[in-house]
């Protein structure tokens, strides 16, 4: 990336778009500049994230990190608007429990999730599409012989910071190349191309794509663990959009919606109004959060 020698006004604010080895590329209204963070940040254990809005001093030092809308740990990115979970109908087969966990983490973090279905030509995606549409999660089936299905995803990127994640081989590179051919990501090699090769000092970056920015793209496994282990068990049900009509309708006001008598959510599962696999995922996340709390205290 080219660094323009720009004079930064004293009150300049900008957004970090690249981070490597303690150096940050910040996009401001007057251009792009390379910045360091104040020494005090390190002492206080504060790490600026890619995606952060920051206040710069005249000599291009990051003085302050403006409040974050959200942040994820791996990759360290903040202020994400949306996450696309790319799921292939087959090869590899979807892991719904994992997908549900990630969807929940995203909503918990106030990041709009969407499911992108690939390999629709090899296996029907109808059931998956219905499952998640019914759950209140936007679903975008991509079929390469129907360019409008690629355009539907591409249009969502404009003006937003997005992340695209999914297991190895689901077709992330293929989709990104279809959205923006100039990316020229070799299929099967997205990891290297997007800066997560074998280097020890990892570069995290926002890539311009379709009028927005795309954050570094990890596989599912890196988006995992620490995120959902931190969830407060009482707030998990709020992250299942399809539970919302039933919350507050249970017999007991402290209902955990796991297996209690008079639970409106469990009744909706039994009546086929909420999918069993989604509720199973909820129970699993709830139990994990509960065990963590018991272990901590
Ligand atoms: N039939 C079919 N094959 C697809 C589709 N999308 C991707 N593929 C193929 O699936 C393989 C993996 O696709 P990639 O785009 O490299 O997958 P990826 O998610 O980027 O994989 P990683 O880089 O390992 O994370 C490639 O051989 C693609 O050609 C699709 O919609 N239909
Ligand atoms: Zn309940």
Domain chopping of the chain, boundaries: 13-66, 72-223, 232-296
- 119 is annotated as contributing to ligand binding: yes
| 192 ligand 1 Cβ < 6 A | no
3-state secondary structure of 4: coil
pLDDT, position 207: 87
The interface predicted TM-score of the complex, written ipTM, equals 0.98
What does the alpha-carbon distance between residue 221 and residue 281 come to, in Å, rounded to a whole number? 17
Using one digit for the tens of pLDDT, what is the confidence trace for 90-120?
Answer: 999 999 998 999 899 899 989 999 999 999 9
293 neighbors 233 (Cβ within 8 angstroms): yes
Q: If you measure from the C-alpha of residue 221 to the centroid of ligand 1, how many angstroms do you get, rounded to a whole number?
A: 18
Ligand 1, atom 27, residue with closest C-alpha: 187
pTM for this predicted structure: 0.88
| 187 ligand 1 Cβ < 6 A | yes
The class that CATH gives domain 232-296 is mainly alpha
Ligand closest in space to the Cα of 178: 1
According to CATH, what is the number of the domain 72-223? 3.40.50.300
For residue 230 the two structure tokens come to 């931190």
Whose structure tokens read 């206080």? 44
Using one digit for the tens of pLDDT, what is the confidence trace for 36-90?
Answer: 999 999 899 889 999 999 999 988 899 999 999 998 877 788 999 999 999 999 9
For residue 18 the two structure tokens come to 């690249």
147, 169, 192: residue to mutate for ligand 1 pocket, most atoms within 8 A of CB: 169
User: Can you give 25-42 as a three-state secondary structure string?
Assistant: EEEECCEEEEEEECHHHH
| 185 ligand 1 Cβ < 6 A | no
Which fold would CATH assign to domain 13-66? OB fold (Dihydrolipoamide Acetyltransferase, E2P) (2.40.50)
| 167 ligand 1 Cβ < 6 A | no
Using one digit for the tens of pLDDT, what is the confidence trace for 170-196?
Answer: 998 899 999 998 877 766 554 444 444
Residue 11 pLDDT exceeds 70? no
142, 173, 219: residue to mutate for ligand 1 pocket, most atoms within 8 A of CB: 173
Residue 220 pLDDT exceeds 50? no
């Amino acid at each position: 990336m080219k660094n323009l020698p720009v004079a930064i006004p004293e009150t300049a604010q900008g957004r970090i778009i690249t981070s490597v080895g303690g150096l940050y590329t910040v996009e401001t209204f007057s251009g792009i500049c390379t910045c360091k963070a104040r020494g005090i940040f390190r002492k206080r254990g504060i790490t600026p994230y890619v995606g952060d809005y920051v206040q710069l001093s005249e000599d291009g030092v990051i003085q302050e990190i403006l409040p974050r809308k959200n942040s994820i740990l791996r990759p360290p990115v903040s202020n994400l608007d949306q996450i696309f979970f790319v799921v292939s109908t087959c090869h590899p087969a979807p892991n719904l429990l994992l997908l549900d966990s990630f969807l929940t983490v995203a909503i918990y973090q106030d990041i709009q999730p969407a499911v992108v279905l690939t390999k629709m030509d090899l296996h029907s995606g109808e059931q998956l599409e219905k499952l998640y549409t019914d759950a209140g999660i936007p679903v975008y089936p991509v079929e390469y012989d129907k360019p409008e299905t690629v355009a539907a995803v591409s249009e969502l990127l404009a003006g937003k910071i997005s992340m695209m994640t999914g297991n190895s081989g689901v077709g992330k590179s293929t989709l990104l190349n279809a959205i923006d051919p100039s990316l020229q990501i070799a299929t099967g090699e997205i990891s290297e191309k997007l800066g997560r090769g074998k280097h020890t000092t990892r570069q995290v970056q926002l890539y311009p794509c379709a009028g927005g920015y795309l954050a570094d793209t990890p596989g599912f496994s890196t988006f995992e663990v620490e995120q959902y282990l931190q969830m407060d068990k009482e707030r998990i049900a709020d992250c299942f959009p399809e539970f919302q009509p039933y919350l507050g309708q249970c017999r007991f006001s402290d209902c955990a919606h796991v297996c209690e008598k008079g639970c409106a959510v469990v009744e909706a599962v039994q009546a086929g109004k909420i999918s069993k696999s989604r509720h199973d995922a909820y129970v699993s996340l709830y139990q994990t959060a509960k065990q963590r709390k018991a272990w901590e205290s």
